[in-house]
Amino acid sequence: MTRPSTVSDTRRGDTATDPPAPGPGTTRQRGRQPRPGRGGVLAVFLAPALALFLLLVIAPILVAGYASLYKWNGFGLPENFVGLDNYTRAFGDPTFRGDLWRGFVLVLLSLAVQLPAALALAMLLNQPLRGRAAYRLIFFAPYVLSEVTTAVLFTLVFSPNRGLGESVSSWLGADAGAIFADPDTVLFAVFLVVSWKYFGLYMMLFLAARQGIPKELSEAAVTDGATAWQAFRHVTLPLLGPTIRISIFLSVIGTIQLFDMVWVLTGGGPIHTSETMAVTMYQYGFRRFEVGYASAISIVMFLLSLVFALFYQRIVLRRDTAGAITNQGGQR
């Protein structure tokens, strides 16, 4: 980015100084009267957001928690209480256990391939290079396409008879047209399409972070005799730490909820080899009407996200001012 956004700009100054909230709080400190009718103002301004959020975000999570304890087809009220049976069933189900494993593999692939590639490209686009604005624009473009559009496009690109897959196969000498049909390759194929769409996002985050680091730092290292790689490894990379950690976080949370792409590309098949937790949940909830069981899977997804997020915020992000939750806690 040549021009950093106003938001990130002001944000940077903001987190650094962290001023106390202005308004009645500070006025009171100066010994003035609090503003009259304050409670009413608060209620009026908070009501729409709170109502929407409690009714459509919090309540559904609670309902899912409740429904997960019942055997329920989604109609009428749940009556057949089964305790934690849905959860023990899930963890005994090879498909669901496979979902967890496949999620783990996708996260590993992303850490090993997608994020390093995005980082390398960001460093590359940080060099003075003619036309880099155009490259940046193109690399980031897939991010605005919906997962569905991307998935349909790639289904056709690799369609056995009429796609590019045939041509690619003849160059590579391998059967590229069948990567979505072969249980051994389908997960990697899904990963490739996910990376195609999302690497530009990570590249953009790294690029913005890189441009926030003063040039003088790595220049000073080079002046002191460091090679370009040493300057990157020991100066730039540590300073990119917060952004790298946030990217890992986004990647894990994104993988836990991966649905659209898989649903359109493969439907989870062949024989569950590309299925994710969200796809399993959809199958049971909306196709087989086992709403209780599907709710248990939702809750596991939620708990995984929550536990991971809290753990990550405490252990990994503690040093960064970046984490939303730790940030809130440390404010006043």
Contacts of another protein in 106-125 (CB under 8 A): 121, 124-125
Q: Is 101 in the site for another protein (CB under 8 A)?
A: no
Q: Per-residue string for binding with another protein, 73-92, x by CB under 8 A?
A: -x------------------
Long-range contacts of 298-302 (CB under 8 A, 24+ apart): 298/64, 298/68, 299/64, 299/65, 299/68, 299/87, 300/87, 300/90, 301/256, 301/257, 301/277, 302/61, 302/64
Q: What is the SS3 assignment for 114-143?
A: HHHHHHHHHHHHCCCCCCHHHHHHHHHHHH
3-class DSSP assignment, residue 209: helix
- Cα distance between residue 324 and residue 313, in whole Å: 9
- The window from 81-89, 107-115, 216-224, 247-255 that contacts another protein (CB under 8 A) reads 247-255
Closest among 171, 167, 170, 169 to 182, alpha carbons compared: 169
Interaction of residue 49 with another protein, rule CB under 8 A:
yes
Window 272-291: residues binding another protein (CB under 8 A): 277-278, 281-282, 285-286, 291
Q: In terms of CB distance, is 197 or 272 closer to another protein? A: 197
x/- string (CB under 8 A) for another protein, residues 143-182? -xxxxxx--xxxxxx-x-xxxx-xx---------------
Q: Is 70 helix (H, G, I), strand (E, B) or coil?
A: strand
Binding mask 307-326 for another protein (x = CB under 8 A): --x------------x-xx-
Q: 103: which DSSP letter?
A: H
Beta carbon of residue 184, minimum distance to another protein (angstroms, whole number): 23
Is there binding between residue 55 and another protein (CB under 8 A)? yes
Q: Which two tokens stand for residue 29?
A: 């400190």
Decide: helix, strand or coil at residue 81.
strand
Residue 262 binds to another protein (criterion: CB under 8 A): no
Q: Which of residues 11-30 bind another protein (CB under 8 A)?
A: 11-15, 19-26
The one segment of 178-186, 215-223, 229-237, 252-260 that binds another protein by CB under 8 A: 252-260
Q: Which of 109, 68, 105 is nearest to 85 (CA)?
A: 68
Given 90, 115, 204, 262, the residue binding another protein (CB under 8 A): 204
Between 217 and 325, name the residue whose CB sits nearer to another protein: 325
Enumerate residues 6+ apart whose C-beta is below 8 A from 255: 103, 106, 107, 110, 276
Q: Toward another protein, which CB reaches closer, 125 or 231?
A: 125
Residue 87 vs 259, nearer CB to another protein: 259
